[in-house]
């Protein structure tokens, strides 16, 4: 298990192939070049940031901590809301009327297309800029090289890094799932006194899900299985390490950790698919 105190991580420029201001505090990352690679970050989006309507070949969750997102026909996200953006599902365009802070988890799904980390994306973008330009989220080729003349910026980067055409899994959903936990009731977690939960997303086909957990002061709960966790409020300990707001930690498939609350503790729990049996070379050139 790895634990990172999010309030101690410095922001860095992110998603430079989209127009506008976006920085990110990268909290946790997986192993580059593997189907199960992932990244959890705190994205700080300026009001000038704009992302065109697009889709991606990985799974994504967002939790708005400050501000809000407008995804046009797909709805809006306000503080506290959690969104699940399945692989292959179009969404957006995305805009915001104010600076917005969101916890963003992106990870490789059961399609085994993997996930490109920040270093891979930046390297791919730098290489493509020798043959074209990124404008309003679109990559436009200006050189004599073959390929699409205009293409979504991320698609172009992914194909360059992986040296093959991008593919998308058959989506089981047709739109993102946006949930407001404030409109949902807490339910007891069986066998765990003082522990409550709200189920935010459940997608068995993608082997993923999301829930909100709340521990009353003094309560304890054992977490297990491959997942990523982010503390939203309160304080406690995870495997004897202090946790507080914006503490992030992850578990591998065979790991477990005891979580205890010293004050009311609320955290997000994201379930990630166990892709440990997949070939690491399947997603990298």
Residue 243 pLDDT greater than 60, yes or no: yes
Query: Any bridge partners for residue 249, and if so which?
Result: 3, 229
* pTM of the entire predicted model: 0.90
The whole-number average pLDDT for the span 205-234 is 96
Instruction: Among 158, 178, 198, identify where a domain stops.
Output: 178
Q: What gap in Å lies between CA 267 and CA 104, rounded to an integer? A: 14
Look at residue 192 and tell me if it is in a domain.
Answer: yes
Q: Provide the residue range defining the domain that includes 105.
A: 2-115+168-178
pLDDT at 145: 61
The burial of 266, by beta-carbon neighbours within 10 Å (0-12 exposed, 13-18 middle, 19 or more buried), is given as: middle
Look at residue 259 and tell me if it is in a domain. Answer: yes
Average pLDDT over residues 256-269: 98
Q: Are residues 73 and 198 in the same domain?
A: no
One domain, residues 101 and 186 = no
Beta carbons of 17 and 134 less than 8 angstroms apart: yes
How far, in Å, are 43, 187, 256 from residue 40 at the CA level? Answer: 9, 27, 20
Q: Say yes or no: 8 and 84 in one domain.
A: yes
Query: How far is Cα 211 from Cα 159, in angstroms, rounded to an integer?
Result: 33
b/e burial code for range 205-221 (CB count within 10 A of at least 16 → b): ebebbbbbbbbeeebeb
The answer to whether residue 103 is domain-embedded is yes
Does the structure show a pLDDT above 70 at 48? yes
- If one compares 284 and 113, the residue with the highest pLDDT of the two is 113
In this structure, are 51 and 172 located in the same domain? yes
Strand-strand pairing, 177-179 and 82-85: antiparallel
Question: Which tens digit of pLDDT belongs to each residue from 186-217?
Answer: 999 999 999 999 999 988 888 999 999 999 99
The pLDDT score that the predictor gives to residue 277 is: 67
The predicted-structure confidence for 127-164, as pLDDT tens digits, reads as follows 999 989 998 888 998 866 655 678 888 999 999 999 99
C-alpha 136, offset from chain centre: 22
Quick one: pLDDT band at residue 283, thresholds 50, 70, 90? very low
């Amino acid at each position: 298990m790895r634990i990172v105190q999010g309030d101690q991580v410095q922001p860095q420029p992110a998603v430079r192939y989209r127009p506008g201001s976006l920085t990110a505090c990268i909290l946790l990352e997986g192993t580059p070049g593997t189907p199960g690679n992932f990244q959890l970050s705190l994205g700080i989006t300026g009001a000038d940031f704009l992302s065109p309507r697009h889709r991606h070949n990985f799974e994504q969750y967002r939790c708005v901590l400050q501000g809000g997102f407008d995804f046009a026909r797909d709805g809006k996200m306000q503080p506290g809301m959690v969104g699940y953006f399945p692989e292959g599902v179009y969404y957006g365009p995305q805009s915001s009327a104010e600076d917005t802070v969101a916890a963003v988890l992106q990870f490789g799904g059961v399609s085994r297309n993997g996930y490109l980390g920040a270093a891979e994306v930046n390297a791919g973008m730098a290489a493509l800029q020798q043959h074209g330009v990124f404008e309003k989220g679109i990559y436009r080729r200006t050189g004599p090289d073959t390929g699409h003349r205009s293409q979504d910026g991320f698609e172009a980067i992914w194909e360059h890094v992986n040296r093959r055409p991008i593919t998308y899994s058959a989506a089981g959903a047709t739109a993102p799932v946006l949930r407001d936990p404030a409109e949902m009731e807490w339910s007891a977690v069986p066998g765990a006194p003082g522990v409550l939960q709200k189920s935010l997303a459940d997608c068995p086909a993608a082997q993923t899900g999301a829930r909100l957990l709340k521990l009353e002061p003094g309560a304890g709960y054992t977490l297990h299985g491959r997942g990523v966790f982010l503390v939203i409020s309160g304080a406690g300990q995870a495997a004897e390490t202090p946790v507080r707001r914006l503490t992030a930690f992850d578990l591998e498939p065979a790991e477990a950790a005891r979580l205890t609350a010293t004050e009311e503790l609320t955290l997000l729990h994201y379930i990630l698919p166990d892709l440990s049996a997949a070939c690491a070379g399947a997603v990298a050139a």
